[in-house]
Structure 1
Amino acid sequence: MKQLSGSARNQYLATFCVNLLSISYGFTCGWTSPSFPILESWDTPLLSGPISSEEGSWIGASLCIGGFIGNLVSGWMADRYGRKLTACLAAIPQIICWIMVIIAKNAYYLMAMRFLGGFSGGVCFMVIPMFIAEISEDRIRGLLASTLVLTCNLGILIMYILGNYVPYAIIPWILLLFPVLFLTSFSFMPDTPFYLMRKNDYIKSEQSLRFFRGFRSGTQHVSNEFKLELVKLKDAFSDEKQTIQDDQLTCKDFVTPHARKAFLIGISLMAFNQFCGCFAMLNYTATVFAESGSSLSANMSAIVIGTIQMFGSYLSTVLVERAGRKLLLVVSGGGIAFGLGIFSGFTYAKSLGYDVASFSWLPLVCFSFAIFIASMGVLTLPFVVLAEIMPQKIKGFASTFCMALLWIFAFIAIKYFSALFYAFGMHGALLLFSLCSLGGTLFVAFMVPETKGKSFETIAELMS
């Protein structure tokens, strides 16, 4: 008799629906690049007049404050109210933030808008991976999980395109559609089988698993794989209840050699991710090119960068299980240092009054290369390595802690990005980012173990 097998169609469908939230967060990340040149000009739509550089820095950095808070509360919300409801609640700040842009009268409206968008982003980066991991089959889990960064980058790219071709006042009305579309489509999805089993709702848990494995509710014709997965789900929940007392965290859990080294690597990778400067510059892409003297228009340059970033993050998902995490991080960090170093040299020569007209293509090439190579490693892989090197017992707390630090580092990088420009010039800021990237590359080369293809037990031995 032919072995029955379900369909993964609903897993792909659910992943697409939940990532509408990620695309919408990408809009918030990319919004500052095409919008700041308008807001800083005398054609600003704000009644208070053009925004100052200090106000602009706070508008940019407010995203990180919201992300920090969203990161802290999302784990608790997901366990208390479920993965589905938490994701749906994250769409509400996104709706409000675009309304804030529509009614904005001064910079404070836009600071609030970015805060709300960042809060939603903090929830996204905690809940979406959790939701996808708990609905996916092992054979496609990596593929589906990699869509989070891709879809966020897609949102940034769409924002750049809209900023170049659509009037400022029309853009928020268009972007409002995405969180509404997310709520409309995702509300029909069940919560994850694991969460429902954890809440002792065995019937709904089985119904959810049937939905995501492509078996109709109530049918007796299911595959042996489905039956085995359901048994494992029940056993995992039983084991969790039985060992919950043994799993209480103590101070000793954080001072083992494995834990100390994992925290050092985790914190360093989060700093590397932000202080290489790429995420900060992505928030000010149009401004960077306007100041650099590129021959291409600032907004068109941003579109090129967004496209390259998407391609780089896709390539990372293809190569991560082939080339390995460490090699990609080293190549990525070294590439960023090289690209931004050349970019710094160009802007320094321009500031000294040298004729650089024949090299006007260089800023776009250098920045494009830096963003492409960063998207292959430094901007994407620290989260993968973090999940693999942390001891299992403290992984939940440690991941939340490191992600919270990431938002703090992002706040520092974005808030003081414009201040670096004014203090050291474009060339000084780019050189600083280049040196930070070089330092991060050396750290990875000497301190971070290769985790490709290794079990958690083997990684624990390497980290001890």
Structure 2
Amino acid sequence: MKSVSSAQNQYLATFCLNLLSVNYGFVCGWTSPFFPILQSQDTPLASGPITTEEGSWIGSAMCVGGLLGTLVSGWMADRCGRKITACLASIPQIICWTMVIVADNAYYLMAMRFFGGFSGGVCFIVIPMFIAEISEDSIRGMLASTLVLSCNLGILIMYILGNYLPYATIPWVVMLFPIAFLASFAFIPDTPFYLMRKNDYVQSEKALRFFRGYQTGTQQVSNEFKLELVKLKDTFNDEKQTIKQDVVTWDDFVTPHARKALLIGICLMAFNQFCGCFAMLNYTATVFAESGSSLSANMSAIVIGTIQMFGSYFSTILVERAGRKLLMTISGAGIATGLAIFAAFSYVKSIGQDVTSYNWLPLACFSIVIFVASMGVLTLPFVILAEIIPQKIKGLSVTVCMTILWIFAFLAIKYFSTLFEVLGMHGTLLLFSSCSLAGTLFVALYVPETKGKSFEAIAKVMS
């Protein structure tokens, strides 16, 4: 007998978890509406307007926190559990918004972004892990895709709040999200897989019953549930029996498959960051203020946030139809073209030409860039990475690649404003366009198509 609402608690747990990723989106989007205010004479900071150097550190501190959060959560998830690790992410989120409330100089805001980034590093490790371990096969992909969607939702909401609410009100509003997470997630059990690994068979079965919609003590369960429980126990027993032979050594990283996969993974992380889209999303209002868009900077940011949401949604729809490589290639080419046109507009404007009749162009170009980026370059590198890395070294390799991603993100965000000053807007955009073109060529020439292929088939292609 199958439970009538077997997926209900899976949806519930996913919703609760994504309160964290929405709040991480708030942190990402916060700089866009408030940097212009913080740099103006009307700054709310007692120390006065922030400098360009301080602004770059505020922006990039998130990446330092994200790197540390990635390393800590990967270790903590196996030792303390997925649930406790997820709860860990809510504490720095509360701290980060408290920093905004009490801030009277730029150092508080650097700390705010650091703690927000730390929570993001935890989210991107533990949320996919938790969802993968509680979900039925038929809805696993859909539930996993909500992580990026909810982050984008958080960015969009912050753009809207930043346009309509005062600076001092924002942290009080968004702090409700991590508090709501802690209150709701307290009733969600840890994953059945983790509990089984801790030799807690009784609690593992209770957790599986919860996520499959059966009440504790229910005698009538479906054959599918019985088979899943047996498989869970067998998987754990097999893991114990093979743990010695599965110890990862240096030799596992120097096989042709591993070397090629790691090289592709690192290059995709570079493509993800040096296309410039993530950096520009942190400074969206500033970008449009400098470009002379016909819309206000904050309204332009709201439009971009909405388009980003649609782009990431279309990515989840098309990835199993069009394929990873085709979407990545189209995405990269679209970014390169859109940024090149944007750069040309900015250059013509900088030399004193009248571009009033083309003031719609920055918003149109950036909208297209963010849409195609959200369809491919900003989302699919993580999918490809998980598919091409050899299974034996996947956990460590993904952690290494995510660590490198945060380093690249730090460089892109830290020196974004510096590039603006040295190269101008047109030079900065042209640099990102060139990086996108290089990334597109790399994907077209060296990244294999993994759509519809088993891990065995992918390993043959990669060897």
Contact 1:5 1:223 in 2 (8 A): no
- Paired residue for 1:313? 312
- Paired residue for 2:115? 116
Q: 1:297 to 1:218 in 2, by over 3 A?
A: same
AA paired with 1:227? K
AA paired with 1:426? M
- Paired residue for 1:53? 52
Write the mapping of 1:122-137 to structure 2, written as runs, cut at 5 A.
122-137=121-136
| TM-score (ref. length: structure 2) | 0.99
Contact 1:71 1:403 in 2 (8 A): yes
Once the two structures are TM-superposed, the CA of residue 151 in structure 1 deviates from its matched residue by 0.1
- Paired residue for 1:106? 105
Contact 2:2 2:221 in 1 (8 A): no
- Paired residue for 1:36? 35
Once the two structures are TM-superposed, the CA of residue 404 in structure 1 deviates from its matched residue by 0.2
Percent of aligned pairs sharing the same letter: 78
Write the mapping of 1:433-452 to structure 2, written as runs, cut at 5 A.
433-452=432-451
Once the two structures are TM-superposed, the CA of residue 5 in structure 1 deviates from its matched residue by 6.1
Once the two structures are TM-superposed, the CA of residue 89 in structure 1 deviates from its matched residue by 1.2
Contact 2:3 2:214 in 1 (8 A): no
Contact 1:91 1:183 in 2 (8 A): yes
Partners of 1:152 and 1:217 lie apart in 2 by: 34
Partners of 1:179 and 1:4 lie apart in 2 by: 31
- Paired residue for 2:280? 281
AA paired with 2:71? L
Partners of 1:28 and 1:107 lie apart in 2 by: 16
- Paired residue for 1:352? 351
Q: 1:385 to 1:101 in 2, by over 3 A?
A: same
Partners of 1:343 and 1:35 lie apart in 2 by: 24
- Paired residue for 1:401? 400
Contact 1:149 1:380 in 2 (8 A): yes
Aligned residues: 463
Once the two structures are TM-superposed, the CA of residue 6 in structure 1 deviates from its matched residue by 5.5
Partners of 2:425 and 2:66 lie apart in 1 by: 27
1:142 aligns with 2:141: yes
1:209 aligns with 2:178: no
Partners of 1:190 and 1:362 lie apart in 2 by: 50
Report the 3-state secondary structure (helix = DSSP H, G, I; strand = E; otherwise coil) of the residue aligned with 1:86.
Answer: helix
Partners of 2:205 and 2:134 lie apart in 1 by: 12
Partners of 1:14 and 1:250 lie apart in 2 by: 36
What root-mean-square deviation, in Å, do the aligned CA atoms of Structure 1 and Structure 2 show? 0.7
Once the two structures are TM-superposed, the CA of residue 296 in structure 1 deviates from its matched residue by 0.3
Once the two structures are TM-superposed, the CA of residue 251 in structure 1 deviates from its matched residue by 1.2
Contact 2:341 2:365 in 1 (8 A): yes
- Paired residue for 1:330? 329
Q: 1:429 to 1:268 in 2, by over 3 A?
A: same
Partners of 1:261 and 1:84 lie apart in 2 by: 34
- Paired residue for 1:154? 153
| TM-score (ref. length: structure 1) | 0.99
Write the mapping of 1:162-311 to structure 2, written as runs, cut at 5 A.
162-311=161-310
Partners of 1:300 and 1:77 lie apart in 2 by: 41
Contact 2:419 2:428 in 1 (8 A): yes
AA paired with 1:51? I
Once the two structures are TM-superposed, the CA of residue 7 in structure 1 deviates from its matched residue by 1.4
Q: 1:363 to 1:4 in 2, by over 3 A?
A: closer
- Paired residue for 1:373? 372
AA paired with 1:354? Q
AA paired with 1:201? D
Once the two structures are TM-superposed, the CA of residue 4 in structure 1 deviates from its matched residue by 5.9
Partners of 2:85 and 2:67 lie apart in 1 by: 16
- Paired residue for 2:68? 69
Contact 2:342 2:429 in 1 (8 A): yes
Gap runs ≥5 in structure 2: none
Q: 1:3 to 1:185 in 2, by over 3 A?
A: closer
- Paired residue for 1:382? 381
Report the 3-state secondary structure (helix = DSSP H, G, I; strand = E; otherwise coil) of the residue aligned with 1:180.
Answer: helix
Partners of 2:213 and 2:248 lie apart in 1 by: 38
Contact 2:328 2:380 in 1 (8 A): yes
Write the mapping of 1:3-14 to structure 2, written as runs, cut at 5 A.
7-14=6-13
Partners of 2:130 and 2:247 lie apart in 1 by: 24
Report the 3-state secondary structure (helix = DSSP H, G, I; strand = E; otherwise coil) of the residue aligned with 1:44.
Answer: coil
Write the mapping of 1:8-27 to structure 2, written as runs, cut at 5 A.
8-27=7-26
Partners of 1:248 and 1:81 lie apart in 2 by: 21
Partners of 1:98 and 1:116 lie apart in 2 by: 9
AA paired with 2:122? V
Partners of 2:356 and 2:18 lie apart in 1 by: 43
